[in-house]
Structure 1
Amino acid sequence: MLTFIGRRVLSSVIVLLGATFIVYMLLSVALDPLEDLYASSAPNKEQLIESRIRALNLDTPAPIRYLLWLQGAGGCLIGQCDLGSSWVTGQPVINLLSSAIPSTLQLITMSTFLAIGLGITVGIASALRQYTGFDYGVTFMSFVLYSLPSFWVAVLLKLWGAIGFNDFLADPTFSTPAIIGLSVVGGLIWQAVVGGAVRRRAITFAIAAAATAAALAFISISGWLLDPSLGPVTIGLIGVAVAFGVTALTAGLRNRKALYSALTVVALGLALYYPLQFAFQYATFWLIFGMGLACVLSGLIVGFLFGGPDRAQSMRGAAITAVVVGVFIFIDRLMGVWYAYSNSGRISGRPIATIGSQTPGFGGNDFWVLTLDTFTHLLLPTIALILISFASYTRYSRASLLEVMNQDYIRTARAKGLPERVVTVRHAFRNALIPLATIVPLDIAALFGGAIITERIFAWSGMGSLFLHSLEARDANPVMGYFIVVGTMLVLANIIVDFVYAALDPRIRVNA
């Protein structure tokens, strides 16, 4: 293991050194920091040029400048990073990166996990329902989303998701034709998802359409969008549905111990609903993070105590259910400040933001209000990134599972009489993830470099914006800082891919 890691790290360092040298040489040719002075009409033009040449060490050959830069970058290994300074702003590159990296992480974290989760789930469901209406619909939507330009998606989201929705909040009621139309669409979608015989589809359509109509009518009559909330009853219903769904996928509903452990954590979450409201008054990031860990730990403990034929299944299902219930309790508390936030002076009834990462001049130190402000600014860029990535993950996971389902060992598992759930979840799903193990880490590393177009349209000050602004200003040091971060992430992603391969396929050994 250590030998493998040592070899990979050494080869990665060599690759990174070669890549940084090539990029530095290209930047030295492509970017001329004296360009603005050449066009200047200042009387001391020559003195300004000479001063900048001395300041930027431009009279030294580019390879020597690279070695000087590399000496400072090498200090990062001992905690003394020196990636130079921006000659435009005068700020050290380390400071620029320290402000850009958290902003980019904030933007891509939620979108990446949601895109991966939704894409794999929908892709697998599409593969299991091959050549059905649902499969054709998913395929069509995937190709449409994959082919859409990201800048166009972002502009449409601004137009409909922000401006349109904010206008709608002035009078959040649905007309009767709108309720009928949306109910029919909802019924069609659910009957395609559930599938089955004509009778089953008709029943599903009727139930889904009626439920959609009832929900829309309730929203219109109660003005729920102006002051939303979930409450313990809704959270309980969602938790029970999640408990049954997670148990059905991970252990099967015949495993009563697993089902009871999942339902127990739902009951535990509801019992703690009101006590948590008092704890939320003192909420901080670390308190919420600790509560999240407590959700996972409580699920594992409950699953362990219930045991069953496979104790790990009970623990896994209970932990997942506990996390979902905890997330909805958190969302419910966040909804509690929606009315105050939306009607504050800086928001003025238009809560969905179109630019920036926070509302300018928005005061206060209330954790929930500031968190909601962050979420409203994250909403549109997150959706934009999800839509593009979701399409590719859906296609990859569908194709991968279809290939695996045709393998001999899958036919053998079915011939032994194993339930289809076990064949799909335990035998096929794990191997279907192997091709995705190559794509996902590299995509995450690439996104870490900043979703450049999305950041530009939504005025998000992250790594992508830093890269673009530095190029426009012909400022090489921030560009090199950007490249060293992205290059390091890609190198680490390649190493992680090898370990993911070994975890998914026992035939692969990293120390082979």
Structure 2
Amino acid sequence: MLTFILRRLGAILLVLLVASFIVYTLTAITADPLRDLKGSNAPNRQELIDNRIELLQLNVPIVARYFIWLAGAAKCFIGQCDLGIAFSRSNQPVVESLSAAAASTIQLVTAATIVAIIFGLTIGILTALRQYSGFDYSVTFLTFIVYSLPIFWVAVLLKEYGAIRFNAFLSDPVVTIQAILITGLIWGVILMAILGGSWKKRLITFSAAFVATGGLLALLGATGWFTTPTIGIVGVVITGIGAAVGVTALSTGLANRRTLYASLIVVGVWGALYFPIQFLFFYVPTGWMLLLTGLVAIGIGIGVGMLVGGDARKEAARTAAIVSFITYFVIVVDRVMLVYPAYVDRIPQSGVIATIGSKTPGLQGDMWFQILDGFAHLVLPTIALALVSIAAYTRYSRASLLEVMNQDYVRTARAKGLTERTVVMRHAMRNALIPIATIIAFDIGALIGGAVITETIFAWKGMGALFVDGLRDGDVNLVMGFFVVTGVLAVIFNLIADLLYSALDPRIRVS
């Protein structure tokens, strides 16, 4: 394994050297860093031109200039990166411009990727298991439509219906009978299609979903939840129980009582800690506190699983840790919701769901205000990016799982009497994820390069905007800074995908 990684790192270094030379040379040949000064009417124009020539060393041949840049970039290995000066950004060091842009883009890419993976793989698995059903045909039709939609058009629709009209509703949240009926009808049809079965079962599913969804929406409207949203200890416990049942069903099956009991015990622990942890949230609102308590949540799950799991300690610890973290996350979301009324009072004109930028300028408040503000700005561009990826992941995961489900070893597993959950989750899914791992790795690398159109529409100053500005202004150093980040991350994620193969399929060995 170590030999393989070292050999791949050597190949990666060679690829980056050759690619960086080509990109630098082509950009330097086609770019004119003096264009803005040549068209200037300033009386000291020639002096400004001479200063920029000296600053950017434009009197040095391009090849020699590349090696000067490479020498500064090589200092990154010792923690002293020198990628030059970005003259188009008031002579700011390129490293500083990259830090701000990369942080913004990584925040956006992380959220979009997590959403896309969760929903894309889930929908793809469901459609594969319900092949040639009405649900499968409907999802296939919708995914092809979403995948073919222009991203700028999707972004405009999200601004109109996801921000402007939704903000108008939140300013005066009145839940009408029509909205209750339509929402209940939609969720009833969706759940009926997913669960399937006989027509009697479908009607029962539809009726239960219709009543539950419509009743919940009516209750939220009557209690004024949209004005002062909260989850509360009851909501935390109910969500935790649902997570315990769902994760256990997928991980080990509900027949494994010890794993289920471990997960439910973890939910009970967090129910008991709900009020004590509020004091920690109020008096120590820092990012490190959230990180440490998140690690504690995982540790609680592992500890309970090891104590209660019996012979299946490993599976119980893994399942309880996941349930514990989900329950803790819900408690954090509940704490963020508490600042919602005060947050709305501070942004009366812009609306809750923001349409431009990555944060509200000049917003004062503690960590919880910043988290809520970040979510308000992140939600629309995340949905815009995730929609296309969800459509792609759905199609790829469906095709991959269908191919695996027809293999001999899957039929053998069924012939041995294993449950369908065990056959799908333990035998089929691991092999089906091998091609998906490659797609996700390349997708992440591409997204980190910046979704130029999405960032432009939502005024999100990330890597895409940085690259466009560098090309427009002829700023070679800025373009090369973009290349360093995106190129390195692209090849690293490619290496990670290769390593994931051996983790997903024990038959694959790296040597």
Instruction: Provide TM-score, normalisation by structure 2.
Output: 0.97
Q: Distance in 2 between matches of 1:170 and 1:438?
A: 44
How is 1:80-479 mapped onto 2 (pairs within 5 angstroms)?
Answer: 80-88=80-88, 89-281=90-282, 282-344=284-346, 346-348=347-349, 350-364=351-365, 366-479=366-479
What amino acid maps onto 1:152 in structure 2? Answer: W
Q: Deviations over 1:423-453 (max 9, x none)?
A: 1111001000000111112211222222222
Q: Which amino acid aligns with 1:191?
A: M
Give 2:202's aligned amino acid.
Answer: R
- CA 1:349–1:215 in structure 2 vs 1: closer, same or farther (change >3 Å)? farther
Shift of 1:46: 4.6
**Residue identity in the other structure for 2:95:** I
Deviation at 1:10, TM superposition (A): 0.9
1:343 and 1:349 in contact (8 A); partners too: no
Shift of 1:37: 3.3
Q: Which runs of 4+ in 1 moved over 6 A?
A: none
Separation of aligned partners in 2, 1:380 and 1:148: 16
Query: Any idea what the Cα deviations from partners look like across 1:278-329, whole Å, max 9, x if unmatched?
Result: 1111221110111111111111111111123422211111111111111111
Contact 1:342 1:349 in 2 (8 A): no
Cα distance in 1 for residues equivalent to 2:91 and 2:255: 66
| Distance 1:10-1:197 versus aligned 2 partners, 3 A rule | same
**SS of the residue aligned with 1:59?**
coil
The worse-fitting range, judged by mean Cα deviation, of 190-199 and 451-460 is 451-460
Structure 1 range deviating more: 375-384 or 257-266: 375-384
Instruction: Identify the residue that residue 3 of structure 1 maps to in structure 2.
Output: 3
* TM-aligned CA deviation for residue 510 of structure 1: 1.3
Measured in 1, the distance between the counterparts of 2:265 and 2:122 equals: 26
Alpha-carbon distance in structure 2 between the residues aligned to 1:170 and 1:79: 49
- Gaps of at least 5 residues in structure 2 are none
Q: Partners in 1 of 2:54 and 2:270 — Cα distance?
A: 65
Cα deviation, residue 34, structure 1? 2.0
Shift of 1:260: 0.4
Q: Which segment is superposed worse, 212-221 or 279-288?
A: 212-221
Q: How many residue pairs were aligned?
A: 509
For each residue in 1:59-117, what CA deviation from the matched residue of structure 2 results, as whole angstroms up to 9, or x when unmatched? 22211111111111111112221111012211111111122221112222122112111
Cα offset for 1:41? 4.3
Partners of 1:145 and 1:388 within 8 A in 2: yes
Give the CA deviation at 1:459: 1.2
Shift of 1:42: 4.7
Moved more, 42-51 or 213-222: 42-51
Shift of 1:170: 2.4
Percent same amino acid at aligned positions?
53
Residue 494 of structure 2 corresponds to 494
Tell me how far apart the structure 2 counterparts of residues 102 and 508 of structure 1 sit (CA, whole Å): 35
Shift of 1:47: 4.7
Per-residue displacement from partner, 1:178-213 (whole Å, max 9, x unpaired)?
222222112111111111100000001111111121
Aligned-partner residue type, residue 490 of structure 1: A
Given residue 184 of structure 1, which amino acid in structure 2 is its aligned partner? L
The 3-state SS of whatever aligns with 1:76 is helix
1:349 and 1:76 map into 2 onto residues whose CA distance is: 41
Q: 1:274: Cα distance to partner?
A: 0.8
Aligned partners of 1:170 and 1:349 also within 8 Å: no
| Letter of the structure 2 residue corresponding to residue 367 of structure 1 | M
Judging changes above 3 Å, is the alpha-carbon distance between structure 1 residues 214 and 81 closer, same or farther for their aligned structure 2 residues?
A: same
Is residue 65 of structure 1 aligned with residue 79 of structure 2?
A: no
Q: What code does the residue aligned with 1:86 have? A: A
Could you say if the C-alpha distance between residues 473 and 214 of structure 1 is closer, same or farther in structure 2, counting changes exceeding 3 Å? Answer: same
CA distance in 2, matches of 1:404, 1:319: 29
1:272 positional shift = 0.7
C-alpha distance in 1 between matches for 2:217 and 2:350: 21
Counterparts of 1:466 and 1:321, CA distance in 2: 40
